[in-house]
Each structure stands twice: as C-alpha cells, then as structure tokens.
Amino acid sequence: MENASSSQSKPSIRTTRPDTESITAAVVTAVTEANGTKPVTPLYEVIDPDALEDLYQHGSPKVSFEYIGFHVTIDSDHTVSVSAMDT
C-alpha cells in the first residue's frame, strides 16, 4: 500500500456485477468499497434507481453520474467503475 499523503486521492474501484446482484446494489457496493464506508446519501437522491435498473434490463447502455464525490460509470458489460472526482 502506498504511503498516505495530503495529495493522495481515494482509490479507484472497478468491479463486474454478479448476475444475482442488481445494478443499484453493485453501485452502492463499489462506492462503499472506494469510500471505506457506506454512503450516507441514498442513491435515489442522485439518480432514479428504478430507471437505472430498467435501462440494464432492457439494454446495455453506458451510464455515468456523480455520487458523494465519486465519478461512477456503468459500462455495457455491467462493469461498475468508481473513481474519486478531482477537486
């Protein structure tokens, strides 16, 4: 593990969602891993979880959005990537 410094950013996470896990659960899990704790802000305050689930049940788009200081991207193969936003 790298030494901590004031300029060190939070880690990037990239994970592929298991078939048994919803897209929204995969996003929360990945953000929790990147953040080190479960987000206090519910996902539904940032993006409509039902609409997100519908998108991935009826197609395979690429979706990106911001959530608690992280840039979240869901690729067409259902891979969830989470990286700290530059401030």
Per-residue model confidence as pLDDT tens digits over 21-55:
889 999 999 999 999 999 999 999 999 999 999 98
Please report the sign of the dihedral spanned by the C-alpha atoms of residue 79, residue 75, residue 35, residue 39: negative
Q: In 3D, which of 67, 69, 82, 65 has the Cα closest to residue 30?
A: 82
Count the Cβ atoms, other than its own, within 10 Å of residue 80.
23
0.95 exceeded by pTM: no
Residue type, 44: Y
CB contact at 8 A, 39 and 28? yes
- Tokens 């840039």 found at: 71
Residue 74 burial class via C-beta count within 10 angstroms: exposed 0-12, middle 13-18, buried 19 and up: buried
Which pLDDT tens digit goes with each residue over 70-87? 999 998 888 899 999 875
Question: Residue 77: its pLDDT value, please?
Answer: 84
